[in-house]
Chains A and B, each alone.
Chain A
Amino acid sequence: MSRVIRQDRAVELQGRRAGFPSRVLADFIDVAIAFGIFVLIYSGLSILWDFFQSDTIQIKVQSPGINATGMGLTVLIYLTLGWASTGRTIGKQIMGLRAVRRDGSSLHTGRALGRAALCVVFYPFVMWTVLFSRRNAGIHDMICKTVVVYDWIPETAKRHLPPPPTPPRSRRRRRAPSTGSGELGA
């Protein structure tokens, strides 16, 4: 599978810092998806609870505080999983964006969690700086030393290959066990 980008300007901007509208739209998509996940989990747990503890099955409406906390936790876990795995949530995947460290490497779990927590709690405040920053950086980007770049090429279409298996240096040496890195290179 290969990924061809036909627009010249889009090719030029691959790997560059993304701007405010793209990032905000990706975040809106993410919040919508997280809301759907939250509703599914909430409804499932409520039905399961009633199944064992009540005679009737109904989805109870909790207080706004509990709902907000549950929604916040869902968004937090959702963002952390996306950023710590590939740097992309579904919203960022749709918009062709990727969150990485300032040096271009992937985010680790701790940094992804911290970034997600800042986003969940202070989103309206941290995002505005993207609009005015010379490097399109939000406050959460500055604190966590992260950037969001345009990267339309998904992992499945990247043209990287595993390193070729190294040949044995001498014949006397023992053969490596079959369940090693040799299988990865195949």
Chain B
Amino acid sequence: MDEQAALNVVGQNVRRVDARAKVTGEARFAGDLSVAGMLHGKVLRSPLPHARILSIDATQAEALPGVVAVLTGRDLSGRLYGHAIKDRPIVALDRVRFVGEPVAAVAAEDAATADAALALIAVEYDELPAATTLDAALAEDAPLLHKDTPLSAGLFHGLGEMKAQPGNICYHHSIVQGDAASIFEGAPSAPIVVEGEYTFPAIYQYAMEPHTVVAQWEGDGVTVWASCQHPFLVRAELADLFELPVSRVRVVVPYLGGGFGSKSYTKMEPLTVALARKAGRPVRIANSVGEAMVTTRRHNMRCRMRTAATADGQLLAREARLWMDTGAYADNGPRVVATAADAAPGPYRWQALAVDAWGVYTNTPPAGSYRAFGATHLQWIGESQVDEVARRAGIDRLEIRERNLLRPGEQVRPGGKPLDADLVGDVRKIAAHLDWHAPKPPDVGRGLGVGLLAAGAQPVSTALVRLEADGTATLLVSTTEVGQGARTVFSQIVAEELALPIECIRVPGGDTQVTPYDRSTGASRSTTLAGLAVQRAAREVRAQLLAIAADCFGLPPAAIALRDGAVWHEDESRSYPDLFKYHFGMVGGELIGRGEVRPERGKESYAAGPVFWEVCTGGAEIRVDRATGRIQVLKLVSVADVGKAINPHLVEAQEMGAVMQGLGNAIHEEMVFENGQILNPTLLDYHIPTIADLPDSFCSLLVENGDGPGPYGAKGVGEGALAGVPAAIVNALADLGIIVHELPLTPERIWRALQTEGD
């Protein structure tokens, strides 16, 4: 089929196919499910950041009427799990490594009894010195978190060979290009050097649905209904932990109440499965918000960066050293560190680069994925240095980017995919929307930022389309509906390829027993990769329909068209049900199409990727109340560079959400720790942006250059704006002469910055 042919459904603002279920309360999330005989599980968590467990006495808890089982480390084989590094036990074995680490779990007839039982479990700890900050963990005499852990590589990290690291270093990633040191040392040729040290906070993703898992053992296998984004990776990890073949582990994912990376990889599933096994009955465990915070968070980070340029603003070299606090267990830390390293240079033409990025274990809750990781961490830093270079060179901040940004086809990183987006065009659009060259009031700051995010993760996805004898279709695909609208977008693709009305297409949720393999839902990959598999599956059915029609009409397939649920030749048509009758000789049968996406031979590694570069941009106009330091956001703008918007409204919706999360990351949000303990573990003291925090105006500009590897030239979106907004706001602040090297930009931090300027 000609890609340029007019599209009927793709590109339209089709209503979400799950909207009705969600506005009526019918849509089920993991916590809404119950199975017969289900018990309520509660988790006992460590109050200390680092301690040896001397003893656990659960006899009183077990004796409480209504308690069916108590799980401790004694009930487990001791096998470890972890996406990148297998470093984590299901519950603490001989020691605890963070405040909040699961130590035991209770399954009881009702939640109240389970709660009461927790208080009856007596745990004796021998407290150990704790390294609860980056400094403490990197110190020479730091207590070591995993000195005795038999670490091994995780199942699917994609980071090549995982080498053992010294001390509390979990992972190290470096990028070297040319000789950066000599450029920085050669002063005359690099007259502009911008240097700084920056701090990024720990942030809580706050998917509104906290992690919830129901586990049920049956016969020789286990079924898990889980709030997880990657059912197949969870399945593999559970199979590995409990020594089962993957076919005996079934992971079912209903609607997810938000993911944002907080439900990537394995979280509460192993614990729930283990507790259900001990109890001999199904168990549901639902995290509270406080528990979700100690299950996963965004890495906090320290970064030292310097940028060298010529006197007239040509960028020469960048050096960055960054340390990311991955907490007590690695989770996705190494990938986050690698992506951060990738983001440190920014999308510019450099003569030399030297980036060193370390993931560090600390006695704090484990950090993992959160939307636009790496890019959000580094873009505000790199972009603020580019702005400073521009100021010192006396050139416009848009112009410096026009001059130094990479063009499509240029190398972004050695051996990786060249740039596939028109960044200069994107950043010009942001600038135009901000009326960049127009005069503005002296108390208004204007800023923008641009960057890239390696998107797509690993390109392995499959889909099945089943066309029924009544002309309806079922699409089997394991993408998790986290709210992004995947089921709607995929329905559009099938509707387009098979000329069917959207209402005739059903997309049930992921179920590893039924829906075929998809690597994951995250890294902005679903439309691009799973969507491509969906398109291929639908096209396979299309080809079958054409072949049958050709036979039926006695014409070559090329002479036949699909339209309105029928095959056509000139004025003659046969509906799909008629065609089925013709083909199967009865009212029945089905046509099945399969679509597969896999990496090119020899290009399976992350280093050879990414699948595509996601564009991260943002533009901002702000005012500052100098008396209090409070930022008033006047305008925010982002660019959704999506190749082809299969559903423009859904693209815009993703952008709006990403922008508000970017605003939260930039201005409001920070997990505050003391001795490894979270001081603000509830929303009473952790501010999530409300409707009152909206900027006065917001706009997302759609760019469709047809340059994506996905269906119809599409590529992913949804993360970029989150990274772009902090960069834009930091640069807007600098435009007002207010320089801050620490996020979030709380009123107090702004106020202090103003004090030091002697304002």
* Chain A complexes with chain B: no
Residues of A within 8 A of B (CB): none
